[in-house]
Amino acid sequence: MYEELTKILKESDNIVFFGGAGVSTESDIPDFRSEQGLYNAQQAYGMSPEQMISHSFFLRDTETFFDYYKNNMVYPEAQPNPAHLALAKLEEMGKLSAVVTQNIDGLHQKAGSKTVYELHGSVLRNFCMDCGASYDLDYVMDPDRCEGHIPKCEKCGGIVKPDVVLYEEMLDDAQIRGAVDAIGGADTLIIGGTSLVVYPAAGFVNYFRGKHLVLINKSSTSYDGRADLVIHDPIGKVLGEAVGNL
């Protein structure tokens, strides 16, 4: 199967990669929707992860939101894994035109990818809700910049909010358009590390009209029957080996 993927990569000139949490778990970033993530949230806070990172909860209990967010959604020490590096190499080779990701960790860019559509935003970008001033992750994580767990703007004292799409919030229009255009124009779409159950992002796959649809995920998905190639192995291993043989 890996040889077949390498063959597809060789004959493709406009590859788009669509990825989810499974890409980041190989960089030791846990999936907050996993059984362990659900258990941890229920044990510590008595709520589901989806409740904890919702827009309404952010407004209602900002202090607890940031306590959960900083301890469960931010992993500043995480490094790109072989999947991130393989995709950056494909782009450098001129074969991959874009990465569309549901992850918020910025690891694709850290690996060297240039064209990345972040559907759910990024923990690396933060802004003051009052004056719009921008801040990096270090600022948000610095206790001296916070009241309790809440980061405050050094210019106006407003709350500094992560540029992350919370539950109940809309996806960014520019990211949606970029992702849809990229997927619609691709000759090969590789979907990796996602079970394709989170909408509206999962619906973006329906815009693909190209030649090869490849699915790489440890477990089966509802889209497996539509794919030309399905590989149920760790994505870092699969992409690392396939791209390495180009």
List residues with catalytic annotation.
Answer: 120
Within 10 angstroms of residue 197's Cβ, the number of other Cβ atoms is 11
Angle made by CA atoms 143, 136, 121, in degrees to the nearest 5: 115
CA distance 219 to 191: 13
CA-based torsion, 114, 117, 123, 126: positive or negative? positive
CA 48, 53, 58, 61 torsion: positive or negative? positive
Strand partners, 188: 15, 212
The CA-based angle 228-171-167, given to 5 degrees, is: 100
- Please give the helix or strand (H or E) that residue 52 lies within, else none: helix 49-52
